[in-house]
Structure 1
Amino acid sequence: MQTRIFLIRGVAALAWAAAFATASDSLTTGPAILLVLYPVIDLVATIIEARGRQASTRRVLALNAVVSAAAAIAIAGAATEGTGSVLGVFGVWAATTGAAQLIAAVRRRKAFGNQWPMLVAGALSSIGGISFALSATGPDVSLDPLTLYAAAGGAFFVIQAWMLRRRLRRASAAPTESTVITSPLEGANA
């Protein structure tokens, strides 16, 4: 299940980045809808993931879901104000959810092993979010960096899905302690 969530989330982010790259020249209805949709994708994926997690990780993911819902609403409102407002709200959301992603990745390490793609994605989200928020008041505000932000995040989710899938395959192929040896010659070096 976790592999599928990571893969779908990654592919959705990559598709969003491709769509936004073609539409982000101005803040019209199409790009505004895409901007609202991005935290909604995070919201839905986070809710699905939280269902199977331990209490401490579930609390972090629940907070992340609430922040994503609030961000979607705030981005919709900010879209009526202009590009700077949208970038500022998106930045605060990205920084906050990036921090939550870092915490969740650290907590998932025990259950899912190596989480470096999620750790990197969380750190980049936090750094990118801070950068977006700071640049939102600048003279040349642009939404173009959001395309790279989403594409990078999507790529890290796809990599994490691949790594988890590989780990699960190796674990299922590895002999277990319950393997019964039926002959004293089995496994012997001859």
Structure 2
Amino acid sequence: MSATALPASSPAPWLQRYYFLRAGVSIAWILLAVLVGRQNPAVGAVLLVLYPAWDALANYIDARRTGGLAANGTQMLNFVISVLTAVAIGVALTAGMAATIKVFGAWAILSGLLQLATAVRRWKQAGGQWVMILSGAQSAAAGAFFFKQASSGIPLDVATVAPYAGLGAFYFLLSAIWLTIKTARAKARQG
């Protein structure tokens, strides 16, 4: 198979749709966080819990589509960690926003490393994974930055997470576009 050809069973069409969905949900989350959650702490709290809960669901859906959780160990771990994080954020919210952002930071580190590992595993099957590798690395770095913010004494709220979500949306959108172009080129070469 050439570097541009896609096999008939290529996961690229699924990943295109999946990455577009992930970008869209992230954009919607950002809008809700900035426009509603920032002014309404209860909505902000729900949004903070929903972010890793959505990540868990997205990892489950993707893994199910590509052989199941048992066949996708990094996604299974990401699913479990994201579910536990959603619960932990709910608990941390009772201790304050600094504790919540620290939990979110720990999750960003772990989920970023697992996303990076998933992208490396998919490289040969789907291509277009260099963006997801960058995204995973950025997520891990952002997690460390969340710890710094949480310890700095600056005011924190749901909007603290919005730039992180924005970068995630950008990376998912870029990956979707990359795979769309790659698929179109491969189809054009095949006639």
Structure 1 counterpart of 2:179: 164
The answer on whether the counterparts of 1:57 and 1:104 sit within 8 Å (CA) in structure 2 is no
How far 1:3 moved relative to its partner? 1.1
- 2:74 pairs, out of 50, 53, 60, with 60
How far 1:27 moved relative to its partner? 7.2
- The aligned runs of 1:92-131 (5 Å cut-off) are 92-131=106-145
State the TM-score, normalized to the length of structure 2.
0.85
Structure 1 counterpart of 2:162: 147
Structure 1 stretches of 4+ moved >4 Å: 54-57
Structure having the higher Rg: 1
The letter for the 2-side match of 1:104 is T
The answer on whether the counterparts of 1:27 and 1:83 sit within 8 Å (CA) in structure 2 is no
| Counterpart Cα distance in 2 of 1:52 and 1:111 | 14
- Superposition RMSD in Å: 1.9
Confirm whether residue 15 of structure 1 aligns to residue 28 of structure 2.
yes
| Counterpart Cα distance in 1 of 2:142 and 2:90 | 20
- 2:92 pairs, out of 70, 73, 78, with 78
The letter for the 1-side match of 2:117 is I
The answer on whether the counterparts of 2:37 and 2:47 sit within 8 Å (CA) in structure 1 is no
How far 1:134 moved relative to its partner? 3.2
Structure 2 counterpart of 1:31: 44
Q: Any gaps of 5 or more consecutive residues in structure 1? A: 177-190
| Counterpart Cα distance in 2 of 1:136 and 1:164 | 37
Structure 2 counterpart of 1:185: none
The letter for the 1-side match of 2:114 is A
Change (3 A) 1:164 1:56: farther
Deviations 1:159-189 (A, max 9, x none): 101111221122222237xxxxxxxxxxxxx
| Counterpart Cα distance in 2 of 1:78 and 1:27 | 18
Choose between structure 1 and 2: higher helix proportion.
2
How far 1:51 moved relative to its partner? 1.9
How far 1:92 moved relative to its partner? 0.4
How far 1:133 moved relative to its partner? 2.1
The letter for the 2-side match of 1:163 is W
The answer on whether the counterparts of 1:9 and 1:41 sit within 8 Å (CA) in structure 2 is no
How far 1:123 moved relative to its partner? 1.0
Confirm whether residue 44 of structure 1 aligns to residue 57 of structure 2.
yes
The DSSP-based 3-state class of the residue aligned with 1:174 is helix
The answer on whether the counterparts of 1:135 and 1:141 sit within 8 Å (CA) in structure 2 is no
Structure 1 counterpart of 2:6: none
Structure 1 counterpart of 2:147: 133
The letter for the 2-side match of 1:7 is F
Deviations 1:27-82 (A, max 9, x none): 72100000011111111110111124368870000000000000100111111111
